[in-house]
Structure 1
Amino acid sequence: MSGHRWRRRVLLAWLGGLGVPAVALEPLLAKSAPAGIDPKPYLVSEKLDGVRALWDGRVLRFRSGRVIAAPAWFLAQLPKEPLDGELWIARRSFDALSAAVRRSEPVDAEWRRIRYHVFELPAGAGSFEQRAQMLKGLAGGVVVPVEQWRLASTAALQARLREVVAGGGEGLMLHRADEPLASGRSDLLLKLKPEADAEAVVVGHEPGRGRFAGLLGALELQTPEGVRFQLGTGFSEAQRRDPPPLGTVVTYRYRELTPNGKPRFASFVRVADAF
C-alpha cells in the first residue's frame, strides 16, 4: 500500500469516528500557485515552516496518523474541537522543532517553545472565511490562529511575498475564502514561494562516486504522477551516510518542470513532515 493511501486510511478512521462528513476526511493539501494569480478571492497567510498536526479533541497526530508524544500540559490547553494546523517555533527553526516533536518522550524545555498555529476546523461549517473567524475564538495558551490577510492585487501579493521571504519566511498560502470544507490536494489551497517545492517517494539509492564514494550519490524518486528522476544535491554528509530509506516521502525544491514532468535544478530539502 502506498504511503498516501495508508495516510488516507488512518485519517478516515480518525475523523470518521467524529462523524465528520466524507468530504472532510483527508486534510486539504496545497498546489503551487500559478504565475500572476489574483489574490482577491483568497485569504492569504504566511507559509509556516512547521510540522502539520491534527487534533481530534483527544489525540494529537502527524499527517501520517502517528501519535505525537506531546506533554500532558500542552494537550490540556487544546480545545475539544478538532483542529488542523502546524506545530511551529519560529522562522528558520524547523530542525529544532522536528527533533522535539519526533521524540518518543517529550522534553518540556523544547515544548515550551512550541505553539500550535491553527488554520482549519475539520468539523466546521460555512466558508473558509467563516471558519477562520471561528478559530479566533479558540485563541489562548498554546493555540494561535494563523493570521489571514485580504490582498487587493497581484502587486500587493508579490510585495507581501517579498516581505515574508526577506524576514526569513518560506512563502505564502492562499485559501479560497468562499469555499466549504474540502480535502485532498486541491487548487482551493495554493502555496506561493520564490521556488516551487513538491514531495516524492524514495524508490532507489544511487551509490556515490569520487568524493562521495561509499556514500549516497543520489536518491531515485517517484512523484505522485509516476514520474521518476534522480535527486543528487542538497544533502548533508550525515544524510549521505544515512540516506532516507525506501518508501520515505521527501520534500525537494525545484525551479521548473521539463515537458515530460521532471523537475529542473532540483535539490533535497528534508524528509517530508508527514512523519
Structure 2
Amino acid sequence: MKKILIIFLSLWGYCTAGGVLLLQIYNEEFLDGRSPVGYLASEKLDGIRGIWDGVALKTRQNKPILAPQCWTQHLPPFGLDGELWIKRGAFEETASIVLSQNQDCQKWQKITYQIFDVPNCGADNNHKRFIAPSNAPNPPTHTDKNPKSPYCTLTQRLQIIKDYLITHADTPIHIIPQIPLQSISQLQNMLEKITKNAGEGVVIRKNDAPYEEIRSKNALKLKAYQDAECKITAYTEGKGRFKGKVGAIICAQILPITPNASSNATPSTISNANLESTPSPALNTIGASQNPAKSDKKPAVITFKIGSGLSEDFRANPPKIGTIITYKYNGTTKNGFPKFARFLRVYQE
C-alpha cells in the first residue's frame, strides 16, 4: 500500500500545475445551453507549452525554458500563453530543441510561438492576473456582451498581440486561428479535417470567459482518440529485425483510465470520436502484460505492454526506466486495460 501511495504521489506531481489555464475533456453539457454558439475553436497543437511573462519563458510547471536571446528578443514586454511548435508530427524534434540546455540560435529558428491567449487583460480582485499590461497597445477593459464586466473576451485578449505584431513583424509569434462555432456539425467537420491531416485535435473555448488559472469548463479539448500517461517499468527485447532492440514497453498504471466514450458526454454527431482522458495520474497502453486477479475489484496498480508506435530510434535508444510516456488508445476492456494502445511520445511537463 505504501508503495502504491508513493507511485501515486510521484505521478500526481508531474501532472498537476498551478497558475495557468488547463483544458477539460470535452463534454456537451459544459456548453452554455448545450450549444457551441459563443465559443471559438482552434487546432490543438502537439508542441511544448510555453508561458512568457514578459521577461522569461517557462513551462506550464513554471520551469525555465532556456530559449536563446536571439529568439526571445522579438517577444513583447507583456505575458503570452501558447505552444512552442515546429509542425504536425514533429513533437520529438520540438522537445529536443526547446528542452535542451544548449541555446542554439540556428535550431531555435525552427521554433514558432503559437499564441492562444494573452492572460493579463482586464482587472478583477479575485483574479490577480487580470491586470492590463501597461505597455500593451490600448488593452480593452470590458467584454462584448457585458460592458460592465471587468474581463476581456478571448477575442479582445488576442487583439492585443495582433496590434503588437503590426509593428513587430520580425518575431517567431503566430496567432492560432480561432474559428467561431455555429453548430455541432461544424465542430465535427473541423475535428475530422484536422485528424485526417495528422493533427491532434480541437480546442473549444468560451469567448466571453476570462483567462482562468484552473482546469476550466470554459476551455475544452476534443480528440478522435483518448490518451493518458504511464510510467515505464521495463522493456522486452524484440524479435526478428528488432532483435537486440526494444520490442515493447512495460508500463504501470495506477488510477483507472477513461473508459469508452459515452454518448451522453459527446455530441451525437461526434459519437464515434472518443474523448481524450485527462493528463492525470492515469496510465495506459496496447496490450496487458499481466492479467488482473479474477475479482470484481480492479487492481490499484496494473501493468501492460505497449508495442505499437515505437520509432526505430526509440527502439535503439530507449529512455531510462521510470520515464513517463503518453500513449493513445480507444476505450478500455471490462478489466480497465486500454484497448489498441500505442506509443505517442515521451511526456513533457
TM-score, normalization by structure 2: 0.64
Measured in 1, the distance between the counterparts of 2:105 and 2:98 equals 11
Alignment of 1:58-69 (within 5 A): 58-69=55-66
1:204 is matched with which residue: 210, 222, 233? 233
> Is contact 1:207–1:213 with CA below 8 Å preserved after alignment?
no
Q: Deviations over 1:230-258 (max 9, x none)?
A: 23322224323443334433211111133
Match of 1:135 in 2: 158
8 Å CA contact 1:48, 1:170 repeated in 2: yes
**Contact 2:118–2:160 at 8 Å: present in 1 too?**
no
| Counterpart residue number, 1:56 | 53
Residue 138 of structure 1 deviates from its aligned partner by 1.6
CA 1:215–1:91 in 2, change beyond 3 Å: closer, same or farther? closer
Gaps of 5+ in 2: 1-8, 122-129, 131-141, 144-150, 166-170, 256-280, 283-299
How far apart, CA to CA, are the structure 1 residues paired with 2:184 and 2:10? Answer: 38
What SS does structure 2 have at the residue aligned with 1:45? strand
Instruction: Give the secondary structure class of the aligned counterpart of 1:218.
Output: strand
| One-letter amino acid of the counterpart of residue 222, structure 2 | L
Q: Matched residues in 2 for 1:159 and 1:80: separation?
A: 38
Aligned ranges 1:231-250 → 2 under 5 Å: 231-250=306-325
Q: Is the 8 A contact 1:32 1:196 kept in 2?
A: no
Deviation at 1:161?
Answer: 1.8
TM-score, length basis structure 1: 0.79
Whether 1:27 aligns to 2:20 is: yes
Q: Is 1:149 aligned to residue 146 of structure 2? A: no
| Aligned counterparts of 2:20 and 2:315: Cα–Cα separation in 1 | 32
Q: CA deviation at 1:186?
A: 4.2
Match of 1:169 among 199, 202, 222: 199
* 1:96 aligned residue: 93
Uncovered stretches (5+) of structure 1, i.e. residues with no partner: 12-24
Counterpart in the other structure of 1:273: 348
In the other structure, the counterpart of 2:285 is none
2:113 to 113, 116, 122: 116
Give SS of 1:119's match: strand
Q: CA deviation at 1:209?
A: 5.8
Answering whether residue 175 of structure 2 is matched by residue 182 of structure 1, we say no
Distance 2:217 2:243 in 1: 43
Asked whether the equivalents of residues 81 and 119 of structure 2 are also in contact (C-alpha less than 8 Å), the reply is yes
**Secondary structure, counterpart of 2:83 in structure 1:** strand
The structure 1 residue matched to 2:75, chosen from 78, 99, 114, is 78
User: SS where residue 161 of structure 2 aligns?
Assistant: coil
3-state SS in 2 of match to 1:220: strand
- Of 157-166 and 215-224, deviating more is 215-224
**In 1, are the aligned partners of 2:118 and 2:161 still within 8 Å (CA)?**
no
Q: Residues 174-206 of structure 1, C-alpha deviation per residue, up to 9 Å, x if partnerless?
A: 1233333323444432222222222x2415114
Q: Which residue of 2 aligns with 1:14?
A: none
How well do the aligned residues superpose, as a CA RMSD in angstroms? 3.0
In 1: Cα distance, 2:179 partner to 2:213 partner? 22
